[in-house]
Amino acid sequence: MEPDAASRPTSSLRTLISRLAPFRGALTVVLLLELGTRAAALIQPLAARAVVDGVAARADLMWPIAVLGAVAIIGLCLNYAGFYQRGKLSERFVLGLRKAMAGRIVGAPVSYVESRSTADLVSRVGADSTLIQQTTVKALVDLVVVPLTVVAGIVLMLTIDVFLALVVIVLLSVAGLAEAGVFRRVVVDTETAQEHVAGLTGVVQRVLLAFRTVKASRSERREAESFDRNADSAYRASVKAVRTGALADTVAYAAVDFTFLVTLAVGVVRVSTGSVGVGDLVAILLYVVYIQEPVEALTNSAGKLSEGLAALRRITELLDAPQETDTAAAPARTEVPAVSNGSKPPASRRSVRFDQVWFGYGDQPVLRDVSIEAVPGLTVLVGSSGAGKTTLLSLAERFVEPERGAVLLDGADVRDLPLAELRGRVAYVQQEAPLLGATIGEAATYGVDDVDEERLRRILESVGLRTWIEGLPLGLDTEVGERGVQISGGQRQRLAVARALARDSEVLLLDEATSQLDPLNEQNLVRSLTRDFRDRVVIAVTHRMPMAYQADQVIMLRHGSVHARGTHDDLLSDPHYRQLIASPSAGSPELAEQLTASGEDGRGEPGA
Ligand SMILES: Nc1ncnc2c1ncn2[C@@H]1O[C@H](COP(=O)(O)OP(=O)(O)OP(=O)(O)O)[C@@H](O)[C@H]1O
């Protein structure tokens, strides 16, 4: 058990209450309706006493019975209204949490989201919010209504017979203490069980993400065993929680039985001595039941409340996620050239400059004193794995910020630009080139507000996809993925590049965005890019040489520093560069050279 486990429920409860504060109007209505329902129940023993006493006295029973019936009907109506309003409040509460979570996730920095498990984030938005919806508001309302019901019942009992009422109070206190002890254990065990289930979904997610690798490496059995191990520990934790729940349930039942039987025994003695009437005893016994019933319901829902509170704690963690800060309001580090009116600076003024940039993840230094300038045309970043290439692109998009030095877009520190403007001016294709959008057209224009068809066609032509798309019966409306056409890795990357081009930004960052194309098609794509979009600053990370061969500038990073820069030809004299391009994954510069020399157009299958 974690040291703070016992204090968790209390702080989670406080969090729940503060999160419910904006709904205080609706919550008050629910509380009043629930209190009304309980009040109607508490009147019934008094009416029942009147009926019993009336029978004994052979009095007219019409009024007592009419009151009993009316109170029962009013209680039912209030119960219906309370149930409905409570459910509606739960839905509104969860709707707000879900929207807030979605907003916090998309507003969080890249580093925050990427350092967390996707399964964990997804389960907070989905499963955790569902848990809260189903249980939490009801349990919270019970926490308020049940003690008030108990107090009101005791006061009414005291008006009937002080001695019997005191007996009931003592018995209820003992039962309450026992139930509270078990409740705490239920909370902790339920939370532990939930944590194990989250671990289980993490395994499934890992397998699904690398499904082909799992199959190809014949690791099905190993993964299944890993799943089984996690499932077993989730099972054991859940069974422990069930066992504690069963104990809590039994304690609650025992409390009712014991209190009822002892009160009956004492009450019978008092009736026999004439201290109280039969009607009084009936009323007090009914109070024991009417008080115990909600207490028992509260105890039963203790596990559910604890689940809901644990879920709320995880949701709250997500709602406290850091957000990307728009530092545009802070004093500018550089004079920011105005582009907000929509006009772009002329190509001659466009540049991305890394000025003596130092950066590290935690204690791990990654970039050391990097100074680079990229102007319109193709700048290629090469270097062995882990050299810091992707990190450089992340700095340009301000996914991360330099520890020292600055990244300048057209002379302005990127930290001085509003994020929306910066990212509007700098398009980015990430390594895996994921597609967003249900159709090819949507994927090609994701994040672009207005792109006319003719321009889109030209872009698709440039990336070598136009013929393929026009050959599809539904063209741009063809669905992709599960329900539509399956597309190859190369097609996906081309679509991602098309999407970035459609942004019409001044800078295009490509992170191994052509790695799944064959060298020939990669060369063609790069040639089209440099020909059709020559006013853009293109910075491409690559491990493959056809692209470096065509670049205006090649920058080689080693261990986080600029090792060499120049054209491909300039760098050929560098032994480390030669070693890099000699690697099998680098593609063949000879092939590229031959193709260019022969003037072969070389446009291969668009679907490569
Ligand atoms: N989010 C992160 N948290 C911690 N360390 C990171 C993170 N991202 C990258 N690194 C580390 O920073 C170093 C540089 O990573 P980066 O991705 O920039 O290298 P790269 O040159 O692009 O590599 P590759 O060619 O393999 O993609 C690596 O050692 C990597 O482990």
In this predicted model, what pLDDT tens digit does every residue of 126-178 receive, in sequence order? 888 888 887 788 888 888 888 888 889 999 999 999 999 999 889 888 887 88
The closest residue, in CA terms, to atom 7 on ligand 1 is: 361
Integer angstrom CA distances of residue 426 from 46, 127, 317, 393: 76, 36, 31, 10
Best substitution site from 114, 368, 390 to test ligand 1's pocket, by max atoms within 8 Å of Cβ?
390
Give the burial class of 555: count Cβ atoms within 10 A of its Cβ; 0-12 exposed, 13-18 middle, 19 or more buried. Answer: buried
- List the structure tokens of 504: 């019409």
- Cα of 110 vs centre of ligand 1, distance in Å, is 13
- pLDDT range class, residue 603, cuts 50, 70, 90: very low
Interacting residues of 427 by C-beta distance below 8 A, sequence separation 6+: 500, 501, 503, 505, 507, 508, 509
pLDDT of residue 583: 66
Q: What whole-number percentage of the chain has pLDDT above 70?
A: 89
State mean pLDDT over 44-56. Answer: 86
Q: Which residue CA neighbors atom 2 of ligand 1 most closely?
A: 361
Ligand 1 contacts CB of residue 544 (under 6 A): no
- Ligand 1 in contact with 113 (CB < 6 A)? no
| Ligand 1, atom 24: closest residue by C-alpha | 385
Could you please report the per-residue DSSP string of 276-288?
Answer: S-HHHHHHHHHHH
Q: Which two tokens stand for residue 333?
A: 């580090």
Q: Is 430 in the pocket of ligand 1 (CB under 6 A)?
A: no
Residue with the smallest CA separation from ligand 1 atom 4 is 361
How far is the CA of 218 from the CAs of 200, 212, 222, 224, 599, in angstroms?
Answer: 21, 10, 8, 11, 45
Assembly ipTM: 0.96
Local structure of 558: helix, strand or coil: strand
222-250 pLDDT, tens digit per residue, is 888 888 888 898 899 889 988 988 888 88
Report d(CA 286, CA 253) in Å as an integer.
Answer: 16
* Ligand 1 midpoint to CA 561 (Å): 14
Ligand 1 center–CA 585 separation, angstroms = 19
Q: Which atom of ligand 1 is nearest to the CA of 388?
A: 18
Distance 299 CA to ligand 1 centre (A): 51
388 Cβ closer than 6 Å to some ligand 1 atom: yes
> What pLDDT shows up at residue 217?
77
Kindly state the tokens that stand for 65. 């019975």
pLDDT tens track for 531-583 = 878 889 999 998 877 788 889 999 999 999 999 999 988 988 888 888 887 76
Higher pLDDT, 254 or 351: 351
Taking the alpha carbons of 261, 267, 268, 269 in that order, is the dihedral positive or negative?
Answer: positive
- pLDDT for residue 76 is more than 90: yes
Query: Per-residue confidence at 285, pLDDT binned at 50, 70, 90?
Result: very high
**127: CB partners within 8 A, 6+ apart:** 311
The finding on whether 383 has its CB within 6 A of some atom of ligand 1 is yes
% of the chain beyond a pLDDT of 90:
30
558: CA distance to ligand 1 center in Å?
A: 13
Distance 367 CA to ligand 1 centre (A): 10
Domains observed in the chain: 5-319 (1.20.1560.10), 348-598 (3.40.50.300)
Q: Is the pLDDT of residue 594 over 50?
A: no
Q: Is 525 in the pocket of ligand 1 (CB under 6 A)?
A: no
Tell me if 398 CB under 6 Å of ligand 1.
Answer: no
Tell me which residue has its CA closest to atom 28 in ligand 1.
Answer: 386
pLDDT in tens, 351-403: 999 999 999 988 889 999 999 999 999 999 999 888 999 999 999 999 999 99
Q: What is the pLDDT of residues 310-341, one digit of tens each?
A: 888 889 889 988 998 876 555 556 655 544 45
Q: Is the CB of 111 under 6 A from ligand 1?
A: yes
Determine the pLDDT at residue 1: 38
**Does any ligand 1 atom lie closer than 6 A to the CB of residue 387?**
yes
Q: In what order do the strands lie in the sheet with 404-409?
A: 364-374, 352-361, 404-409, 412-413
386 in contact with ligand 1, CB cutoff 6 A: yes
515 lines ligand 1 (CB under 6 A): no
Q: Measured from the CA of 114, which atom of ligand 1 is nearest?
A: 1
